[in-house]
Amino acid sequence: MRRWWDKHGVAIVLGGLTIGAAWYLRQTQGAAILEAYQLVTRPFQSSPTQVESLANARIKELEDRLAELDSQNEKLKELLGYAKTQKQEGIFAPVVGRSADHWWQQVTLGRGSKDGIKKDYIVMAPGGLVGRVVSVTPNSSLVLLISDATSQVGVAISRSRSMGFMRGKTSNRAIVQFFDKVPNVRKGDVVSTSPVSDRFPPGLPLGRVESVNMGKSPAPEATIELTAPFNSLEWVLIYPNKAPVTPQPTESK
Protein backbone atom coordinates (compact mmCIF):
# COMPACT_ATOMS: atom_id res chain seq x y z
CA MET A 1 0.00 0.00 0.00
CA ARG A 2 2.87 2.27 0.85
CA ARG A 3 4.54 1.53 -2.43
CA TRP A 4 1.32 2.23 -4.28
CA TRP A 5 0.87 5.56 -2.46
CA ASP A 6 4.45 6.58 -3.10
CA LYS A 7 3.87 5.89 -6.79
CA HIS A 8 0.39 7.49 -7.21
CA GLY A 9 -0.03 9.81 -4.20
CA VAL A 10 1.34 12.95 -5.84
CA ALA A 11 -0.93 12.54 -8.86
CA ILE A 12 -3.97 11.99 -6.64
CA VAL A 13 -3.24 15.13 -4.56
CA LEU A 14 -2.68 17.26 -7.64
CA GLY A 15 -5.84 15.92 -9.21
CA GLY A 16 -7.83 16.75 -6.11
CA LEU A 17 -6.41 20.25 -5.95
CA THR A 18 -7.24 20.78 -9.62
CA ILE A 19 -10.82 19.59 -9.18
CA GLY A 20 -11.22 21.75 -6.04
CA ALA A 21 -9.83 24.82 -7.76
CA ALA A 22 -12.13 24.27 -10.73
CA TRP A 23 -15.14 23.96 -8.44
CA TYR A 24 -14.14 27.11 -6.53
CA LEU A 25 -13.71 29.12 -9.72
CA ARG A 26 -17.08 27.94 -10.93
CA GLN A 27 -18.74 29.03 -7.71
CA THR A 28 -17.01 32.48 -7.58
CA GLN A 29 -17.10 33.06 -11.35
CA GLY A 30 -13.37 33.77 -11.42
CA ALA A 31 -13.43 36.65 -8.95
CA ALA A 32 -10.25 35.53 -7.22
CA ILE A 33 -8.32 35.43 -10.50
CA LEU A 34 -9.59 38.90 -11.44
CA GLU A 35 -8.53 40.32 -8.10
CA ALA A 36 -5.13 38.71 -8.40
CA TYR A 37 -4.73 40.08 -11.92
CA GLN A 38 -5.65 43.61 -10.80
CA LEU A 39 -3.25 43.40 -7.89
CA VAL A 40 -0.37 42.32 -10.13
CA THR A 41 -1.06 44.85 -12.92
CA ARG A 42 -1.99 47.85 -10.76
CA PRO A 43 1.54 49.38 -10.81
CA PHE A 44 1.42 49.35 -14.62
CA GLN A 45 -2.06 50.88 -15.06
CA SER A 46 -2.28 54.42 -16.55
CA SER A 47 -5.08 55.81 -14.32
CA PRO A 48 -4.22 59.23 -12.82
CA THR A 49 -2.65 59.27 -9.39
CA GLN A 50 -3.87 61.49 -6.57
CA VAL A 51 -1.14 64.00 -7.34
CA GLU A 52 -2.15 64.12 -11.01
CA SER A 53 -5.82 64.56 -10.08
CA LEU A 54 -4.99 67.50 -7.81
CA ALA A 55 -2.82 69.04 -10.52
CA ASN A 56 -5.62 68.74 -13.09
CA ALA A 57 -8.10 70.32 -10.67
CA ARG A 58 -5.70 73.22 -10.07
CA ILE A 59 -5.28 73.78 -13.81
CA LYS A 60 -9.07 73.86 -14.26
CA GLU A 61 -9.38 76.35 -11.41
CA LEU A 62 -6.78 78.65 -12.99
CA GLU A 63 -8.52 78.43 -16.37
CA ASP A 64 -11.84 79.43 -14.76
CA ARG A 65 -10.19 82.34 -12.96
CA LEU A 66 -8.63 83.53 -16.21
CA ALA A 67 -12.02 83.45 -17.94
CA GLU A 68 -13.52 85.52 -15.10
CA LEU A 69 -10.68 88.06 -15.28
CA ASP A 70 -11.17 88.38 -19.04
CA SER A 71 -14.86 89.11 -18.50
CA GLN A 72 -14.11 91.75 -15.85
CA ASN A 73 -11.47 93.31 -18.11
CA GLU A 74 -14.02 93.73 -20.91
CA LYS A 75 -16.47 95.45 -18.55
CA LEU A 76 -13.76 97.84 -17.33
CA LYS A 77 -12.79 98.69 -20.91
CA GLU A 78 -16.43 99.53 -21.64
CA LEU A 79 -16.65 101.72 -18.54
CA LEU A 80 -13.38 103.50 -19.37
CA GLY A 81 -14.65 104.23 -22.87
CA TYR A 82 -17.82 105.70 -21.39
CA ALA A 83 -15.83 107.81 -18.90
CA LYS A 84 -13.86 109.43 -21.72
CA THR A 85 -17.09 110.92 -23.12
CA GLN A 86 -17.76 112.88 -19.92
CA LYS A 87 -16.63 116.47 -19.30
CA GLN A 88 -15.64 115.80 -15.71
CA GLU A 89 -13.57 112.95 -14.36
CA GLY A 90 -15.72 110.61 -12.30
CA ILE A 91 -14.85 108.27 -9.44
CA PHE A 92 -14.72 104.61 -10.42
CA ALA A 93 -16.36 102.35 -7.86
CA PRO A 94 -16.99 98.60 -7.77
CA VAL A 95 -20.33 97.15 -6.72
CA VAL A 96 -19.48 95.10 -3.63
CA GLY A 97 -22.90 94.39 -2.15
CA ARG A 98 -26.38 93.65 -3.41
CA SER A 99 -29.07 92.08 -1.26
CA ALA A 100 -31.35 89.51 -2.86
CA ASP A 101 -34.25 91.18 -1.04
CA HIS A 102 -33.37 94.59 -2.51
CA TRP A 103 -31.85 93.60 -5.86
CA TRP A 104 -33.58 96.37 -7.83
CA GLN A 105 -33.58 98.89 -4.98
CA GLN A 106 -30.02 99.51 -3.83
CA VAL A 107 -26.37 98.53 -4.20
CA THR A 108 -23.30 99.02 -2.02
CA LEU A 109 -20.14 100.44 -3.59
CA GLY A 110 -16.56 99.83 -2.49
CA ARG A 111 -15.70 103.56 -2.32
CA GLY A 112 -16.64 106.09 0.33
CA SER A 113 -15.88 109.47 1.86
CA LYS A 114 -12.13 108.73 1.84
CA ASP A 115 -12.40 108.72 -1.97
CA GLY A 116 -14.29 112.03 -2.07
CA ILE A 117 -17.81 110.62 -2.37
CA LYS A 118 -20.64 112.50 -0.68
CA LYS A 119 -24.35 111.98 -0.14
CA ASP A 120 -26.53 112.84 -3.17
CA TYR A 121 -23.71 112.24 -5.67
CA ILE A 122 -25.07 110.72 -8.87
CA VAL A 123 -24.14 107.27 -10.12
CA MET A 124 -23.76 106.49 -13.83
CA ALA A 125 -22.96 103.46 -15.99
CA PRO A 126 -22.78 102.81 -19.73
CA GLY A 127 -26.38 103.26 -20.81
CA GLY A 128 -27.33 106.08 -18.50
CA LEU A 129 -28.27 107.05 -14.98
CA VAL A 130 -28.14 104.37 -12.28
CA GLY A 131 -29.09 106.20 -9.09
CA ARG A 132 -27.82 108.48 -6.35
CA VAL A 133 -25.78 108.03 -3.19
CA VAL A 134 -28.02 108.06 -0.10
CA SER A 135 -25.46 107.30 2.61
CA VAL A 136 -21.67 107.21 2.90
CA THR A 137 -19.11 105.64 5.20
CA PRO A 138 -15.34 106.14 4.95
CA ASN A 139 -14.98 103.06 2.73
CA SER A 140 -18.40 102.42 1.18
CA SER A 141 -21.48 104.08 -0.30
CA LEU A 142 -25.11 103.03 -0.48
CA VAL A 143 -26.86 103.81 -3.78
CA LEU A 144 -30.62 104.07 -4.24
CA LEU A 145 -31.30 102.80 -7.77
CA ILE A 146 -33.75 104.56 -10.08
CA SER A 147 -35.35 101.14 -10.60
CA ASP A 148 -36.63 101.33 -7.01
CA ALA A 149 -40.30 102.29 -6.65
CA THR A 150 -39.43 104.98 -4.08
CA SER A 151 -36.86 106.67 -6.31
CA GLN A 152 -38.79 109.44 -8.09
CA VAL A 153 -36.99 111.20 -10.93
CA GLY A 154 -38.17 114.25 -12.87
CA VAL A 155 -38.08 113.35 -16.57
CA ALA A 156 -38.67 114.83 -20.01
CA ILE A 157 -39.41 113.29 -23.41
CA SER A 158 -36.43 114.36 -25.54
CA ARG A 159 -38.47 114.73 -28.76
CA SER A 160 -41.45 116.71 -27.46
CA ARG A 161 -40.24 117.99 -24.04
CA SER A 162 -43.35 116.60 -22.35
CA MET A 163 -42.52 116.25 -18.66
CA GLY A 164 -43.46 114.05 -15.75
CA PHE A 165 -41.90 111.99 -13.00
CA MET A 166 -40.59 108.45 -13.10
CA ARG A 167 -40.66 105.73 -10.46
CA GLY A 168 -39.11 102.29 -10.66
CA LYS A 169 -41.23 99.25 -11.28
CA THR A 170 -39.43 95.92 -11.56
CA SER A 171 -36.28 94.66 -13.22
CA ASN A 172 -35.25 97.18 -15.90
CA ARG A 173 -38.65 98.82 -16.24
CA ALA A 174 -40.05 102.07 -14.83
CA ILE A 175 -43.30 104.06 -14.99
CA VAL A 176 -43.56 107.71 -16.05
CA GLN A 177 -46.61 109.69 -14.98
CA PHE A 178 -47.05 112.84 -17.08
CA PHE A 179 -48.13 116.27 -15.90
CA ASP A 180 -50.13 116.99 -19.09
CA LYS A 181 -53.51 115.41 -19.66
CA VAL A 182 -52.55 114.68 -23.27
CA PRO A 183 -48.74 114.45 -23.41
CA ASN A 184 -46.91 114.28 -26.74
CA VAL A 185 -45.33 110.86 -26.30
CA ARG A 186 -45.07 107.71 -28.37
CA LYS A 187 -43.34 104.35 -28.36
CA GLY A 188 -39.59 104.62 -28.91
CA ASP A 189 -39.23 108.15 -27.51
CA VAL A 190 -36.06 108.77 -25.52
CA VAL A 191 -36.52 109.70 -21.84
CA SER A 192 -33.97 111.79 -19.95
CA THR A 193 -33.74 113.70 -16.68
CA SER A 194 -35.78 116.91 -16.60
CA PRO A 195 -34.28 120.43 -16.63
CA VAL A 196 -36.33 121.20 -13.52
CA SER A 197 -35.20 118.12 -11.57
CA ASP A 198 -33.80 118.99 -8.13
CA ARG A 199 -32.03 115.64 -7.66
CA PHE A 200 -30.19 115.09 -10.93
CA PRO A 201 -28.54 117.20 -13.64
CA PRO A 202 -30.68 117.63 -16.77
CA GLY A 203 -30.35 115.55 -19.90
CA LEU A 204 -29.07 112.30 -18.40
CA PRO A 205 -30.36 109.32 -20.41
CA LEU A 206 -32.77 107.01 -18.64
CA GLY A 207 -34.40 104.78 -21.26
CA ARG A 208 -36.98 104.58 -24.02
CA VAL A 209 -40.77 104.50 -24.04
CA GLU A 210 -41.98 100.93 -24.39
CA SER A 211 -45.74 101.57 -24.21
CA VAL A 212 -48.20 104.39 -23.45
CA ASN A 213 -51.48 104.31 -21.52
CA MET A 214 -53.40 107.51 -22.26
CA GLY A 215 -56.46 106.29 -20.36
CA LYS A 216 -54.65 105.92 -17.06
CA SER A 217 -56.17 107.94 -14.21
CA PRO A 218 -55.42 110.48 -12.81
CA ALA A 219 -52.81 111.11 -15.57
CA PRO A 220 -51.46 109.28 -18.63
CA GLU A 221 -48.58 106.87 -18.01
CA ALA A 222 -45.80 105.32 -20.04
CA THR A 223 -43.75 102.19 -19.38
CA ILE A 224 -40.03 102.86 -19.82
CA GLU A 225 -37.33 100.34 -20.62
CA LEU A 226 -34.28 101.54 -18.68
CA THR A 227 -31.00 101.45 -20.59
CA ALA A 228 -28.48 101.11 -17.74
CA PRO A 229 -27.49 97.46 -17.09
CA PHE A 230 -29.16 97.07 -13.69
CA ASN A 231 -29.11 93.26 -13.83
CA SER A 232 -25.32 93.09 -14.25
CA LEU A 233 -23.84 96.12 -12.49
CA GLU A 234 -20.24 95.51 -11.42
CA TRP A 235 -18.58 98.94 -11.85
CA VAL A 236 -20.02 102.47 -11.90
CA LEU A 237 -18.91 106.09 -12.18
CA ILE A 238 -19.80 108.65 -9.49
CA TYR A 239 -20.13 112.42 -10.02
CA PRO A 240 -21.07 115.45 -7.89
CA ASN A 241 -24.80 116.10 -8.18
CA LYS A 242 -24.67 119.28 -10.25
CA ALA A 243 -21.57 118.40 -12.25
CA PRO A 244 -21.71 118.98 -16.01
CA VAL A 245 -22.03 115.33 -16.93
CA THR A 246 -22.27 114.95 -20.68
CA PRO A 247 -25.56 113.32 -21.71
CA GLN A 248 -25.53 110.60 -24.30
CA PRO A 249 -27.17 111.30 -27.69
CA THR A 250 -30.92 111.32 -27.08
CA GLU A 251 -32.56 112.38 -30.33
CA SER A 252 -34.91 109.70 -31.61
CA LYS A 253 -35.54 109.23 -35.27
CATH code (residue 104): 2.40.10.340
Is residue 149 within 8 Å of residue 167, measured between CB atoms? yes
Is there a single domain that holds both residue 57 and residue 97? yes
Q: Are residues 29 and 57 in the same domain?
A: no
CB atoms within 10 A of CB 144: 20
Residue 245's pLDDT is what?
Answer: 47
Percent of the chain whose pLDDT exceeds 70 = 62
Pairing of the two strands 153-157 and 163-168: antiparallel
159 lies in a domain? yes
238 in a structural domain: no
Is 252 inside a domain boundary? no
Is 199 part of a structural domain of the chain?
Answer: yes
Check residue 248 and report its DSSP letter: P
- pLDDT tens, 141-199? 999 999 998 888 999 998 899 999 999 987 789 999 999 888 999 999 999 999 887 78
pLDDT of residue 235: 86
pLDDT of residue 199: 84
Predicted local distance difference test score (pLDDT) of residue 223: 95
Domain boundary, last residue among 128, 145, 162: 145
Q: Note whether 162 and 156 are within 8 A (CB).
A: yes
Whether 237 maps to a domain, the answer reads: no
Same domain as 176, residue 138 = no
- Outline where DSSP puts E strands in 110-199: 122-125, 128-136, 141-145, 153-157, 163-168, 173-178, 190-193
Q: What is the extent of the structural domain holding 102?
A: 51-145
38 with 57, same domain: the answer is no
Same domain, 39 and 97: no
Q: Considering 102, 119, 145, which residue would you say is the last residue of a domain?
A: 145
- Examine the domain organization and report whether 177 and 141 are in the same domain: no
Residue 137's SS3 state is coil
Q: What CATH number is attached to the domain comprising 191? A: 2.40.10.350
Number of structural domains found in the chain: 3
- In terms of Cα–Cα distance, which of 196, 120, 192, 132 is closest to 156? 192
Strands 128-136 and 141-145: antiparallel
Instruction: Report CA-CA distances (Å) from 10 to 1, 5, 20, 22, 198.
Output: 14, 8, 15, 18, 112
What band does 28 get if pLDDT is binned at 50, 70 and 90? low
Residue 132 in any domain: the answer is yes
Judge whether residue 249 has pLDDT over 50.
no
One DSSP character per residue, 197-239 reads: -SSS-TT-EEEEEEEEETT-SSS-EEEEEE-S-GGG--EEEEE
Please indicate, yes or no, whether residues 55 and 103 belong to a single structural domain of this protein: yes
CB 155 within 8 A of CB 131: no
CB neighbours of 222 closer than 8 A, spacing ≥ 6? 175, 176, 178, 185, 191, 209, 210, 211, 212, 213
Among 145, 178, 199, residue at a domain's last position: 145
Q: Can you tell me the distance from the alpha carbon of 158 to that of 173, in angstroms, rounded to the nearest whole number?
A: 18
Does 93 fall in a domain? yes
Mean pLDDT of the chain: 77
Same domain, yes or no, for 140 and 159? no
φ and ψ of 131, to 5 deg: 170, -160
38 & 56 share domain: no
Residues 105 and 71 in one domain: yes
- Could you give the C-alpha distances from 24 to 18, 31, 103, 213, in angstroms and in order? 10, 10, 69, 87
